[in-house]
Structure 1
Amino acid sequence: MAINNPYQTYQNNSVSTASPGELTLMLYNGCLKFINQAKQAMVSKNIEARNTSILKAQKIVQELMVTLNMDLKVSQNMMALYDYINRRLIEANVNSDTAILEEVEGMVTEFRDTWKQVIQMNRQQVHAGQGGQV
């Protein structure tokens, strides 16, 4: 008999019912979580945990890269920024440099906060009857 984990069930449901915009927000939040874990691992000199957390953050950045619509100019700009973040994550991992992680964290936080505002504006338009889809 399988025991259901309510937290895991909630997490699975929240991902499967999220809009594309909400999924992007979840990716940003996950990236920030792994960056913070990597910083903590650096402080405690846990090389394996640092590497694992940075690799997870890189995977999220790579996922954000492949979801871009490259027909749009803004996507081309975002691709360059994501590429920069990905290269800086590699550098932070190789050099065990928390300052680089803090730089990347600031960029990802800014993207996340901007994306959150886009979602909120979209919801306001939908509720006002103006359409919109993020």
Structure 2
Amino acid sequence: MINTPYQKYQQTQLQTASPAQLLLMLYDGAIRFVRLGIAGIEEQDYEKANTYLCKTQAVIHELMAALNYDYPIAKTLEQVYEYMLYRLINSNLKKNSAPAQEVLSYLLELREAWDTASKSLNKNSEQQA
């Protein structure tokens, strides 16, 4: 149930977002969660680390579910996502932030690539209109 104006705003934002915007939102969430997980490890707050690294894994599972296998890159992205899940699990089990830091770097690069592709696609669409 949506109670606050902020929750209503978020719901509207999700319902009106383009597929590219939704993808970027997923990346933003994963980046935020992995950073919080890393902070939990560094603070030795392992409950916090576990919570946020698991949330990161859930977002990556959503990214995997969104893959369109009509395009050859989907198989490559699936392998990258699988590797990130492996590293997050490793980070969480060993309470070592290095694997999570590695995942963070991949998420940041992928988010930037998707953002660039989205802007390029929008620019081309505007030029054709």
TM-score of the aligned structures, taking structure 2 as reference length:
0.94
Equivalent residue, structure 1, for 2:87: 88
> Residue 84 of structure 1: CA displacement?
0.3
> Residue 72 of structure 1: CA displacement?
2.0
Whole-angstrom CA distance in 1 between matches of 2:27 and 2:103: 12
Instruction: Specify whether residues 3 and 129 from structure 1 end up closer, same or farther in structure 2 by C-alpha distance, changes over 3 A only.
Output: closer
Give the count of matched residue pairs. Answer: 129
Q: RMSD over aligned Cα, in angstroms?
A: 1.6
Equivalent residue, structure 2, for 1:16: 15
Flag structure 2 segments of 5+ consecutive residues without an equivalent.
none
Question: What amino acid maps onto 1:112 in structure 2?
Answer: R
Instruction: Specify whether residues 3 and 62 from structure 1 end up closer, same or farther in structure 2 by C-alpha distance, changes over 3 A only.
Output: closer
Flag structure 1 segments of 5+ consecutive residues without an equivalent.
none
Query: Is 1:67–2:71 an aligned residue pair?
Result: no
Equivalent residue, structure 2, for 1:34: 33
Equivalent residue, structure 1, for 2:52: 53
Whole-angstrom CA distance in 1 between matches of 2:2 and 2:30: 30
More helix by percentage: 2
Whether the 8 Å CA contact 2:2–2:8 is kept in 1: the answer is no
Whole-angstrom CA distance in 1 between matches of 2:105 and 2:80: 13
> Residue 127 of structure 1: CA displacement?
1.3
Aligned sequence identity (%): 32
Question: What amino acid maps onto 1:35 in structure 2?
Answer: V
User: Structure 1: which 4+ aligned runs deviate by more than 6 Å?
Assistant: none
Whole-angstrom CA distance in 2 between matches of 1:129 and 1:79: 32
Equivalent residue, structure 1, for 2:116: 117
